[in-house]
Structure 1
């Protein structure tokens, strides 16, 4: 008997992979210490002191399972958004929820539309449930809404993924365009509208919650990983109609949430003053990154996120050389994985100390890489 015959044919066909190589793996494999962790779109500013206090207090009750209904957090989110808690599903970050959506929607061989070079973890889940990815190239470094719609109609796709603001390019569409796109989709196509970077976007980017709350083929994804500084806590949530939100109860891990993480999210929602301060610091850090890039002859792209994508002016080979070279100086960043996006590098915002390390290392790396 084959050692792998116990697995399904689909599982046997999939590579064992991690969608992102973490800085920890880079440290292990290259023997280099990360000094500026500005590559994973985390918040180096961290969560609010009030959040850390709440999480420390919650540690005393960590011997108990978390409420399998996530009632308190759903209620707090509902009050924050002015909707019913029954319109909200909580999960282990947006990544966990994406996997659950794939399980709910994708039949083997089903076409799933997304952007070529878009968020790779979504693709990982689609492949894991036997879906067939149909990809649409970016247009002008933005996701191509017209192209996505055409692909959905051509393929009769049951699922389409669209991130606004976008990762990895940091670009965005205005709210009216997003709503028009959602309303133009066939009613048989579920839109995953990933708004992970919504807090850092310009006014007029994110449609009001009430605009799409009654549309049964839209799920909006939110997270505490970015502006709230809780990436390691793994708290995300989906907003949709009653039927969509409650569908997660059919397949989710009901004891999958950490009590400590949930209390952190509750405290984060209460501390909106800290959130406002962090958003201002994110904006300032974006400007600092853009200034450093320009000073070194590189082109920073406009960003609505907590990172800046920087056009390095040639191709993926040069961009990777810059990424690798910066790591030699302890500066961890990433880059898009698909051409032509991979002509760029992607730098997350960080503390003034992080920015100083970047500013010192980048010209040395560019000199070593050459033109």
Structure 2
């Protein structure tokens, strides 16, 4: 574990944001070079890496995925491996997830599989929702068709080493909306000669607020959060002619998200037309819901039981987004949670740090899943 903990801390110290993971990828490739994958694909969907370990005989193919990117968050920790960059840090634990997959690579090298194939995907750009899509659309990935796909996410607020599972929706669908409203600027003393978007923005906020359904266990769950508003300038003699408002929308299924998107666009179009405003709607940072396959979840349960790990059956989905949902749409797969401590700072907090003691737990679970599937 000493080697993997050192790697994790090094990755933590030199974080890179989504789409800029060049040096992170180099560090992963250097580590993998000591543990001889049969093939390595680089520059996958950006800076992504796919390492392959083949058995002597043909068999099933399993994909395990982790993330390369960090967040644009200033770290307030003062330990020796703190980020060297002022406003970039690993506050979601992707450094630990990478260490787990590197540990699995080491395990597969030291204890080669007899049949089948294991694919280790180090995916870029998870945090902005673009990485899974770019990997999936990369021509180098087109022939990759695993029988199963797995990923984990560390979860503060849960006991260390605990395995958190849930059938069907594990993490919510998330999409972010940018609404641009263009009217006409005028003198503030003659607002009737212009078209100010303020009332339209107010109506949109109120209409959206009325749609919110906070119970994530219900089929009509819909959480809409205002993120950003900009209108006019600090010029008190001018009535604004342009306004912009951003929202993040969450649903507990991909199908429900499509329904919500259509409904929201209809509302906005009606309000913009009423106020004679030009309208532009953009969607960004889209995350598909992780809709876990029941068979894949049963495999996780069995592997966790064999290692005598504590298993928690989650009743409701997590409300955060995770773009592994695109892979669970395409392949039979599942995302699981790995408890990182009940008193650990929350994800995306400036004082968060991945707990090194759970690296071994993740490796053991993934390796047990590998053996159970390929030796069946």
Q: Which has the higher strand share?
A: 2
Q: TM-score by structure 2 length?
A: 0.27
Q: Which has the higher helix share?
A: 1
